[in-house]
Amino acid sequence: MKHALIALLATAATCAPAIAQTVAVTGGTLAIGDGSAPIENGTVVFRDGRIVAAGASVVIPADATRIDARGKWIAAGIISGPTDLGLVDVGGVEESNDSASDASPFNAAIDISTAINPHSVRIDDERVAGVTRAMTAPSPSASIFAGQGAVIDLGTDPDPVMRPRAFQYVQFGENGRKAGGGSRPAAYLAFRDTLAQVKDYRRSPAAFLAQGKDALLKRSDAEALVAVIEGRTRLLVEVNRASDIRTVLSLLADYPKLRMVLVGASEGWMVAREIAAAGVPVITPGSEDLPSAFETMASTTSNAARLDAAGVVVALTAGGSISGEHVVRQNAGNLVGIASVPGRQGLSWGKAFAAITSRPAQVLGLEAEIGSLQPGRRADVVIWDGDPLELSSAPQAVWIDGVAQPMQSHQTLLRDRFLAPETGVLPRAYKH
């Protein structure tokens, strides 16, 4: 098994630079990621970092480097988030954790793209597990506005940020009420009043700033939020209770240009029609079924499918899982599995896989760039040795932007060190 894997990687590695080179991965079960069912005996062709074609009857250019994927799956790379990937080495080690900015006088202006570390070992660990991109978000702390998140790739190159300031993150509900002044109405007021001030700032920055210390909003925070009310930057709102979702959606009446996305939405299914009517997409774990808080009393694993049935675009998130970002594929697989249970609603395989590939891209308006193997998209491609939603499968090769990635991480090297028998000649520290 291991030898076969190394052989495959050696093949992949020869095409690593990807400059003006065409790669054809052939003969595998193809999971495009756009919601369609898997295609038997499919092929994907990519060139200069972009997908050229994917399907069952694809013309393979004569100059293409061919990689045989018979008996395997060829799939779009997984996109996860919101996550702290790239911002944190170890969650519990405060010195390494840049996700929250408790003592900063700034909030909405905080731009995490300045701090992404592409060499964090967690990025390697997630990449070898099939995750190719992530929406990395700041954590709210002193304000309900956490700041601006970015879309990153998990490649080994030194430039991880694909789209800086891709979204503003705001927290509502039980967590938001703390940062918002201790109650839901106070948090909602903070939300509305901040947006009103941003409107004032946009109308006349000079007049707004002339208020001096009386202004409740700093200039850079106001500037960051102008992009939000103008709809240039998406607004990700963490909210769970059905009534809170209604309250948040009501903001759209006064700010029709807001491009709002709900994050969490545990009780989203109760207000699915309103969410759909507002054209607001949802990012949800899909695995929640416990009343873990009073705002998630109605959580159910049928949430995602019910939202989908109402016409809402649904993406899945690992939700900060300790298992890592790649657990979204297990969450997606479970949503296929529950369809067999009387009384529960699940997703088709194609929709479940889309919920961890093209849907996260769509939520951020990036579906023409990433998230599927449709022509023109960035070539984020993973070869799996089986169904990518099944627990027995593992990635065999990963390309990001058409560049073959090393399949090595802190975890794989530890594994290899301890798989080998101890010789007693030298400590294991000499095995590398």
Binding site for another protein (CB under 8 A): 1-2, 82-84, 88, 90-93, 97, 99-100, 121-122, 125, 137, 139, 238, 242, 263, 267, 270, 287-294, 296-302, 317, 319-324, 327, 330, 333-334, 336-338, 340-344, 389-394, 410-411, 414-415, 418-419
CA 375, CA 46: separation in Å to the nearest integer?
9
Distance of closest approach, residue 307 Cβ to another protein, in angstroms: 14
3-state SS track over 92-145: CCHHHECCECCCCCCCCCCEHHHCCCCCCHHHHHHHCCCEEEEEECCECCCCCE
Distance of closest approach, residue 29 Cβ to another protein, in angstroms: 16
- Nearer CB in complex with another protein: 65/117: 117
Distance of closest approach, residue 233 Cβ to another protein, in angstroms: 19
CA 73, CA 228: separation in Å to the nearest integer?
39
Euclidean distance between the first and the last CA atom of the chain, given in angstroms as a whole number: 21
Phi, psi of 300 (to 5 degrees): -155, 150
- Nearer CB in complex with another protein: 92/256: 92
Rounded to 10°, the helix 184-203/219-229 angle is 90
- Nearer CB in complex with another protein: 256/343: 343
Q: Which of 105, 102, 51 has its CA nearest to residue 74?
A: 51
- Nearer CB in complex with another protein: 182/291: 291
Distance of closest approach, residue 340 Cβ to another protein, in angstroms: 6
Bond prior to 138 in cis (omega within 30° of 0) = no
Token reading at 260: 């709002």
- Nearer CB in complex with another protein: 6/216: 6
Distance of closest approach, residue 222 Cβ to another protein, in angstroms: 25
How big is the CA angle at 11 (ends 350 and 130), to the nearest 5 degrees? 35
- Nearer CB in complex with another protein: 63/422: 422
- Nearer CB in complex with another protein: 218/306: 306
- Nearer CB in complex with another protein: 219/418: 418
**Residue 112 and residue 82 in contact, taking contact as beta carbons nearer than 8 Å:** no
Distance of closest approach, residue 56 Cβ to another protein, in angstroms: 24
Distance of closest approach, residue 170 Cβ to another protein, in angstroms: 12
Distance of closest approach, residue 113 Cβ to another protein, in angstroms: 18
Give me the DSSP letters along 1-12: -HHHHHHHHHHH
- Nearer CB in complex with another protein: 83/197: 83
- Nearer CB in complex with another protein: 14/292: 292
List strands edge to edge, sheet with 234-239. Answer: 78-83, 131-136, 145-153, 161-171, 234-239, 260-264, 282-284, 314-316
CA 217, CA 37: separation in Å to the nearest integer?
49
**Residue 128 and residue 121 in contact, taking contact as beta carbons nearer than 8 Å:** no
Rounded to 10°, the helix 242-254/184-203 angle is 20
Distance of closest approach, residue 136 Cβ to another protein, in angstroms: 11
Distance of closest approach, residue 280 Cβ to another protein, in angstroms: 18
